[in-house]
Amino acid sequence: MLIEGYEANSTQCALMVTRIAISGTLRTAVPDLDRESQDQFLVVLQAKDMGGHLGGLSGTTTVTVRLTDVNDNPPRFTQSEWPF
């Protein structure tokens, strides 16, 4: 069975799904996704039998991938002094 994935509604695929395990784990070509930049991706998965050759069947679904946060960015202050 051939399984392909790509990011929905995007001309530039930031996620690039490279592998989908039987367990359902998605592997991406992007090593460090940043939740602060984008916290959610819609991924379209398409499975094809017969290796994707003519005459084979296929099915498509959309998966929502939500990123959780890792404390990787220090706090930022908008001004250098604060009156109290």
Q: How do residues 10-43 score in pLDDT, each as one tens digit?
A: 545 556 666 676 777 777 777 777 788 888 888 8
Please give the pLDDT value at position 15. 60
Total count of domains within the chain: 1
Please give the pLDDT value at position 19. 64
Please give the pLDDT value at position 23. 76
| DSSP string covering 13-70 | -SS-EEEE-TT--EEES-S---TTT-SEEEEEEEEESGGG-TT--EEEEEEEEEPPP-
Q: In this structure, what token pair is assigned to residue 49?
A: 């039998």
**In contact, 24 and 65? CB cutoff 8 Å:** no
Residue 80 domain-assigned? no
Please give the pLDDT value at position 29. 75
Residue 74 domain-assigned? no
Is residue 48 classed exposed, middle or buried when 0-12, 13-18 and 19+ CB atoms within 10 A define those classes?
middle
Domain assignment of residue 40, given as a range = 2-66
Please give the pLDDT value at position 11. 47
Residue 71 domain-assigned? no
Residue 83 domain-assigned? no
Distance CA 37, CA 17 (A): 18
Higher pLDDT, 7 or 83: 83
- Predicted structure pTM score: 0.58
Whole-number mean pLDDT of the chain? 76
Residue 84 domain-assigned? no
Residue 77 domain-assigned? no
Residue 34 domain-assigned? yes
